Structure 1
Amino acid sequence: MTDAELAAFLAQEAGRMLLVLQQSGQYSGKDLGDEGDRIANDFLMGMLRMRRGSDGMLCEEEKDNLRRLDAERVWIIDPLDGTREFSEGRGDWAVHVALAVKGEPVVGAVALPGLGLLLRSDLPIWVPPAPERLRMVVSRSRPAAEAMAVASALDAEVIPMGSAGAKAMAVVRGEADIYLHSGGQFEWDSCAPVAVALAHGLHASRIDGSPLVYNQQDTYLPDLLICRRDHADTVLETLARVHPA
């Protein structure tokens, strides 16, 4: 099984397990979110240790092992991206499985179980053209000031949505055109979505235009821009104008 096939299998199976749990009625609220985090983490990390035990690993739900910094290949995992949405019974949550090689996100799979979808870096789909009026996805609970300012300047439609993976994949799927986030994230929030977005020919960078680099000692990676390549310069220039550093 190739790295990409493994990432897709793991994301899909963890997503299936989570969907069964969400629909079971056995847990609710915070208990549902906690149990979802636990079972997805146990499955994903157990399988990775069995299948790719010599690789480095970074996972939201596990204590960071800094030996990963000496590894060329590092799996970066978010077992349940959007725990709040999952615990509320919503569909805008995701499972992220990514492989970074020398800091670059080269393999990614993002499962959107609530939508019955799996997006993969090795099997890109067609990205529909953007409409005349652009659409920007933002956090449904904490829309970033920078994103709202850019949306206003571009007269873009604002679409509130849950998890980072769901927002990034909305751009890949053609349901949105820009995902600009500046409210704080970690490497596991964006690595798999960025790998998938890049494989689909999209632009992905920090909001100052610099590259996204993974497997760093400090896993905080606070901002992100995913959009079509032909919109990237406009978005970055608009951001610099309305929200100068």
Structure 2
Amino acid sequence: MMPAAACMPPGIDEQALLAELRRLSWGAADILLAYGRGEQPPYGFPPALSVDEGGEGPVSAADLAVNQWLLDGLVKAFPDAGWTLLSEETAKEQLTAGQPLDAEWLWILDPLDGTKDFLQGTGEYAVHLALAHHGEPVLGVVLLPEMEELWIGLVPQARAWCENRAGEQRPASLSPRQALGDLVLVASRNHRDQRLEQLLEALALGDTKAIGSVGGKVATILRGETDLYISLSGKSAPKDWDMAAPEAVLRAAGGAFTHADGRRLSYNDGDIRQAGCLIASHGRSHQQLCDKAAGAMAVIDPGFPV
């Protein structure tokens, strides 16, 4: 049995960590907003917004600048912390397929979730920071720079809230909708194959809202605008850094984020893909959603590992 997740690593003060995460998050927002507006970014980062095609899609100077800002900031603020830092931009150098990192405490970072949205100017991008203990997220941060929203979730304490630059806080506000036909789905504009369309038809949900990043999608659930998000994928699945922080904040707020068969998402297990039928929801109808989705997938694609 996996050890129970602790709240904070030994020697790390929760309030000191949250204060540093606020500073780093709003600094990341300043970097991204400057790049997005064609202005000189702060903290000495280069002004040119170059774009290269990496293994998973476009990587911009903004991704790399925020990555450096977050990693350097955590190392400088907590030089003796017993944690390991992993980000989307460092994963190729750090990870070996099939081998988990030797890390009891692991930061899982995505410096820019929704790079295509950022480059297209939709504003629907996010920054993800998650701290996992024995592979389970215990703290999550989802930053939405364009909306000036900083979502923070502490899973063991079941506390989640949103704050702005002034530090004004408001709690998550999950919707009261419960009947499946009333639930509002938040979905991607792209990434919608025939299997997903068939699954959504079988679930017979209510309205649909389209949002770019995973962090942005989950934020709509936290605000009560939508009720669920479904990720259905195999080889080209989202990665650990796409899901860890949104999952932590949603679970801390009282929502749920699991596979359709009820399994928890697993992190740092040697496979960074979050494949299968994953359902994030406000929690009220989660079991019903999972049962119906698993049954539908058994017909749509027999043998698909949900």
CA deviation digits over 1:123-161, x for unaligned, max 9? 431324244621111111112545433432323222222
1:237 and 2:291 are equivalent in the alignment: yes
Q: Which structure has more helix as a fraction of its residues?
A: 1
Q: Secondary structure at 2:291's aligned position in 1?
A: helix
What is aligned with 2:70?
44
User: How many aligned residue pairs are there?
Assistant: 245
Where do 5+ consecutive residues of structure 2 fail to align? 1-14, 40-46, 53-57, 155-159, 162-170, 299-303
Aligned 8 A contact 1:7 1:98 in 2: no
Q: Greater CA deviation, 16-25 or 107-116?
A: 16-25
1:161 and 2:193 are equivalent in the alignment: no
What is aligned with 2:36?
22
Q: 1:129 aligns with which of 152, 175, 193?
A: 175
Where do 5+ consecutive residues of structure 1 fail to align? none
Computed over aligned residues only, the root mean square deviation of the Cα atoms, in angstroms, reads 2.4
1:228 and 2:282 are equivalent in the alignment: yes
Which structure 2 residues correspond to residues 91-170 of structure 1 after superposition, within 5 A?
Answer: 91-122=123-154, 123-124=160-161, 125-131=171-177, 133-152=182-201, 153-170=203-220
User: In 2 relative to 1, CA 5–181 (structure 1 residues): closer, same or farther, beyond 3 Å?
Assistant: farther
Q: TM-score, normalised by structure 2?
A: 0.73
Deviation of 1:105 after TM superposition, in Å, equals 0.4
Deviation of 1:235 after TM superposition, in Å, equals 1.1
1:65 and 2:94 are equivalent in the alignment: yes
User: In 2 relative to 1, CA 52–70 (structure 1 residues): closer, same or farther, beyond 3 Å?
Assistant: farther
User: In 2 relative to 1, CA 87–237 (structure 1 residues): closer, same or farther, beyond 3 Å?
Assistant: same
Bigger Rg, structure 1 or 2:
2
Deviation of 1:24 after TM superposition, in Å, equals 2.2
2:128 and 2:75 map into 1 onto residues whose CA distance is 17
Deviation of 1:164 after TM superposition, in Å, equals 1.1
Aligned 8 A contact 1:58 1:64 in 2: no
1:140 and 1:83 map into 2 onto residues whose CA distance is 14
Q: Secondary structure at 2:275's aligned position in 1?
A: coil
Deviation of 1:33 after TM superposition, in Å, equals 5.5
Aligned 8 A contact 1:56 1:68 in 2: no
Q: 1:181 aligns with which of 231, 235, 255?
A: 231
1:35 and 1:49 map into 2 onto residues whose CA distance is 21
Higher RCO (CA 8 Å, separation ≥ 6 residues): 1
Aligned 8 A contact 1:205 1:226 in 2: yes
Aligned 8 A contact 1:182 1:207 in 2: no
Q: Secondary structure at 1:242's aligned position in 2?
A: helix
Q: TM-score, normalised by structure 1?
A: 0.90
2:17 and 2:137 map into 1 onto residues whose CA distance is 12
Q: Secondary structure at 1:77's aligned position in 2?
A: strand
Deviation of 1:75 after TM superposition, in Å, equals 0.4
Aligned 8 A contact 1:11 1:111 in 2: yes
User: In 2 relative to 1, CA 2–24 (structure 1 residues): closer, same or farther, beyond 3 Å?
Assistant: same
1:58 and 1:235 map into 2 onto residues whose CA distance is 32
Q: 2:106 aligns with which of 58, 74, 78?
A: 74
User: In 2 relative to 1, CA 243–217 (structure 1 residues): closer, same or farther, beyond 3 Å?
Assistant: same
User: In 2 relative to 1, CA 205–12 (structure 1 residues): closer, same or farther, beyond 3 Å?
Assistant: farther
